[in-house]
């Protein structure tokens, strides 16, 4: 998550509509260079009863990926605006691989990804996806609002 995103606080407030979320920790991974005390306080205020834990990550891309985009070696016919999409590429790299190696998740059984663009609808949800997955013996699940 990127500090300074004006929509972010509204989205986090909407997560409180998931009444079962207060039973679980909410881990927030954010850019090490952008986390400030003020931003963390604003997010905690928006989160209300949610149990937040902040973890900073280095905003670095895989060197091979950077080389490929900067030189167009991998996709020579595509005119790619590397700097414009750098944040999206980092997010994809992080959530596609690195997050699963993060020490904060070493003992986690289930994970629900709540991005900074996930807005829970006003009626919310009383359906605890983790309890349902545990009861059914499932390893993968999702909820669509």
Q: Tell me whether residue 71 is in a domain.
A: yes
What total number of domains does the chain contain? 1
Q: Tell me whether residue 102 is in a domain.
A: yes
What is the domain extent for residue 105?
A: 8-136
Q: Tell me whether residue 3 is in a domain.
A: no
Q: Tell me whether residue 104 is in a domain.
A: yes
pLDDT digits (tens, 9 = 90+) for 31-62: 777 788 998 999 999 999 999 999 887 766 66
Q: Tell me whether residue 143 is in a domain.
A: no
pLDDT less than 70: residues of the chain: 1-6, 59-87, 89-90, 115-119, 124, 141-145
Task: Report the alpha-carbon distance of residue 80 to residue 17 in Å, rounded.
Answer: 39
Longest Cα pair distance anywhere in the chain, in angstroms? Answer: 50
Q: Tell me whether residue 26 is in a domain.
A: yes
pTM of the complete model = 0.69
Q: Tell me whether residue 14 is in a domain.
A: yes
Task: Report the alpha-carbon distance of residue 11 to residue 33 in Å, rounded.
Answer: 22
């Amino acid at each position: 998550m990127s500090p300074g995103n004006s929509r972010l606080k509204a989205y986090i407030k909407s997560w409180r509509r998931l009444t079962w979320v207060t039973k679980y920790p909410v881990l927030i991974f954010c850019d090490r260079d952008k986390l400030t005390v003020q931003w963390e306080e604003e997010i905690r205020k928006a989160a209300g009863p949610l149990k937040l834990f902040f973890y900073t990550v280095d905003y670095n891309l895989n060197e091979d990926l950077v080389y490929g985009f900067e030189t167009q070696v991998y996709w020579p016919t595509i005119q790619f605006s590397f700097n414009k999409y750098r944040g999206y590429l980092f997010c994809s790299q992080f959530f596609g691989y690195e997050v699963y190696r993060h020490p904060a998740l070493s003992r986690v059984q289930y994970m629900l990804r709540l991005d900074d663009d996930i807005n829970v609808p006003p009626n919310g949800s009383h359906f605890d996806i983790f309890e349902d997955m545990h009861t059914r013996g499932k390893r993968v699940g999702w909820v669509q609002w």
